[in-house]
Structure 1
Amino acid sequence: MHIEGEGTVTAGEERTRTASIRDVARAADVSYQTVSRVLNGHPSIRPATKQRVLDAMAELRYRPNQAARALVTSRSRTLGVVLGSRGEYGPTSSLAALEDAARERGYWVTSAYISDTRPETIRAAVEHLRRQSVEGLIVHAPQVRVFDVLAELDVDVPYLGLHSAERGIAEIAEDQVHGARLITEHLISLGHVEILHVAGPQDWIEAESRMRGYLHALSDADLPTRPPILGDWTGDFGYRAAMELSRRLDFTAVFAANDAMALGLLHGFRDAGLDLPRQLSVVGFDDIPLARHGWPPLTTVHQNFTGLGERAVRALLDAIGAPAAEGEDMPVEASDVVPRVVVRESTAPAPLRAR
């Protein structure tokens, strides 16, 4: 029978059990408290001692037990992300950006996808992440009702919504409004006065923010507004909407709330026989990689997902009280984060008859 902390690790034993912190201490000829200090980045350890411990870890293939360390230090170095959608470019890019930003601060990210917004589904996702001893949560579930359920759950770790102004980062939520305003103003600058909006699904925070930006731009220009068409973020919806809208054509421009629907609109309007963009301009939001390959290439709003991820992780770690990383006193430049319009060939001056 093996008693933890007794004896030495032989080659045969390495194949049957993993090394412990005491094995590392013996191999490095230091106390196990010194090994613990090395693992936790304690500044009092001399460089030569630290290197001896690291060499012993490498030789013994020692891997720290994160769960045990979390019990002792109350720091799991792990953040949780609640995902309300996946597969699309925006959520996938946001998650990658969050993971990259967290790694820069020495944190890992674990995620839980919710397939619906029933309270029991959200509760199960949060409980799963809490079992991983996450220190905080980023909620990338853009439906408003998700935050209503979270408020009722009384979550016991700091959390924020990636695009929620009420329980998140107001600047990020405002970026959505600002980007939609910019793309609508681009159409107005081209002489368009009858501009339709194909929105995202009802109750989605991003969809509501982008609709607000569109309406603000029209109001500021004293232009007429129309009821939005509620879409589902997919190219298939955009295509079907275009086939239906092409029967009346009492507008000269369409702002789709994301690029997938915008590309579907381009496809549908072309199949309906329209000359784009001479007869009709179409714009999107997100600047997905395929946007530049649409026909015509799509004018859209570019989002800096890397900057958004960095801003969100910093805000959450500040709420947790995690120590700042080296060189982190340098703020993320606002100009590197705010959305910007990328003009391509899907927009043109409004037809003369419409001016």
Structure 2
Amino acid sequence: MTERSAPIRRPTIKEVARLAGVSHQTVSRYLKSRQGLRPATLERIDGAVEKLGYRPNLMARSMRTRRTGRLAVVMPLNTFNHARLLAGALAAAHEAGHVVEVVSVEGSTATRTERVLELTHAGQVDGVLSLTPMTAGFEEALPKGAAVVVSPDFDDGMRSIGELTDASPVSELMERLAALGHRRFLHVAGDQEFASARARKAAYLEAIERLGLESVGVAEGDWSGESGVEAIRQMDPDRLATAVIAANDVVASGVLRGARDRGLDVPGDLSVTGWDDNELCRFLPPSLTTVRINWEGAGRNAVRRLIKAVGGPELEPWSGPVAQVIWRESTAPPRRHPASAPGGRR
């Protein structure tokens, strides 16, 4: 005869209140919205929730409110890796007591819109977040009370638009490099179909003009490492740059390889910067100076809007700079004049 294990007992809201030293009404209020509660109270309840592993009882809430406790995030099937964006979105949803289904849809905007409408009419989720635009007038086909939030951060191909294309870190990179003594620059651009690539190119050209620097050109890249290798290979040996602003980290890795092939030392002969803060950047020889985008924050704020739309608790928004420069070993003062660098002797 097999023994049945006892069911795992869920901690209750009263146990959270007792451990935090507050009333259960205060914890209930906390679960609906953090606003209006004192920081010390929030800290105690946060600690109690974490220690007890408390999670709202979704089944009981569903019976009481006719809500499922489930949300859907819809995105294109073929897109760039946005794992950090989804991580931020899922963390915010779980914080509010929701589970999330990520739905990848192949096809056009119309196809994705149709899938969103199917999800809302099926009633199996409380709300839908679409990471890409919907067809015009889709709201007219929504069932009454349906909650659909469309992210303003991406275009139809889930390429960054709006705030996520902020290229001001390019200016910060170039100002710092100029202060270190760099005067001759090269930009290896990204695919110009992307608003972010166009913004970084424009910021580079603006900084060249504003700071009185010399540009040896803008190499038209395609986000690939090969475009970085080719850009260095094509540099005029009589006008070698001492600093390269690469459109992303993959391009920058190609620049590092191209520099090695030409006998250029990084950062002695050539300082190199990237964009994205790929995990591997810290382990390259040398580690790469780059720009980190707070994808987790963007994902949190997107789901926060959806949770508010479905009547969930008011979560703390992520706030802070969208992009942050991470300075590492690949940037340093130029060791010599570019004309005397390997391959650049006159």
Q: TM-score, normalised by structure 2?
A: 0.64
2:268 corresponds to which residue? Answer: 278
Residues in 2 aligned to 1:243 and 1:112: alpha-carbon distance in whole angstroms = 43
Cα deviation 1:236-260 (Å, max 9, x = unaligned): 3323333333756532211112111
Structure 1: unaligned runs, 5 residues or longer: 1-40, 43-62, 142-146
Q: Greater CA deviation, 295-304 or 207-216?
A: 207-216
Say whether residues 1:122 and 2:102 are aligned partners.
no
Residue type matched to 2:249 in 1?
A: D
Q: 1:106-255 maps to which residues of 2 (within 5 A)?
A: 106-113=97-104, 121-133=108-120, 135-139=127-131, 147=133, 150=134, 152=136, 154=138, 157-162=148-153, 172-173=163-164, 176-224=166-214, 228-245=218-235, 249-255=239-245
CA RMSD between the two structures:
3.9
Residues in 2 aligned to 1:85 and 1:252: alpha-carbon distance in whole angstroms = 37
2:88 corresponds to which residue? Answer: 97
Of the candidates 343, 348, 352, which is equivalent to residue 327 of structure 2?
343
Residues in 2 aligned to 1:224 and 1:85: alpha-carbon distance in whole angstroms = 39
Residue type matched to 1:322 in 2?
A: G
Residue type matched to 2:72 in 1?
A: L
Cα deviation 1:7-51 (Å, max 9, x = unaligned): xxxxxxxxxxxxxxxxxxxxxxxxxxxxxxxxxx99xxxxxxxxx
Of the candidates 46, 70, 79, which is equivalent to residue 72 of structure 2?
79
Q: 2:274–2:291: 8 Å Cα contact kept in structure 1?
A: yes
Give the direction of change, closer, same or farther, for the CA distance of 1:241–1:352 in structure 2 (3 Å limit): closer
Note the C-alpha offset of 1:153. 6.4
1:322 corresponds to which residue? Answer: 311
Q: How many residues align?
A: 270
Q: TM-score, normalised by structure 1?
A: 0.62
Give the direction of change, closer, same or farther, for the CA distance of 1:321–1:302 in structure 2 (3 Å limit): same
Q: 2:96–2:312: 8 Å Cα contact kept in structure 1?
A: no
Partner-residue secondary structure (3-state), 1:228: strand
Residue type matched to 1:262 in 2?
A: A
Say whether residues 1:293 and 2:304 are aligned partners.
no
Bigger RCO of structures 1 and 2 (CA < 8 A, at least 6 apart): 2
Q: Greater CA deviation, 243-252 or 280-289?
A: 243-252
Q: Which has the higher helix share?
A: 1
Partner-residue secondary structure (3-state), 2:167: helix
Q: 1:138–1:161: 8 Å Cα contact kept in structure 2?
A: no
Residue type matched to 1:342 in 2?
A: I
Note the C-alpha offset of 1:128. 2.4
Structure 2: unaligned runs, 5 residues or longer: 1-30, 33-57, 143-147, 340-346
Residues in 2 aligned to 1:315 and 1:277: alpha-carbon distance in whole angstroms = 44
Residues in 2 aligned to 1:226 and 1:273: alpha-carbon distance in whole angstroms = 19
Residue type matched to 1:125 in 2?
A: R
Partner-residue secondary structure (3-state), 2:325: strand
Say whether residues 1:332 and 2:318 are aligned partners.
yes
Q: 2:169–2:325: 8 Å Cα contact kept in structure 1?
A: yes
Q: Taking every aligned residue pair, what percent have the same amino acid on both sides?
A: 31
Give the direction of change, closer, same or farther, for the CA distance of 1:342–1:103 in structure 2 (3 Å limit): same
Note the C-alpha offset of 1:284. 0.3
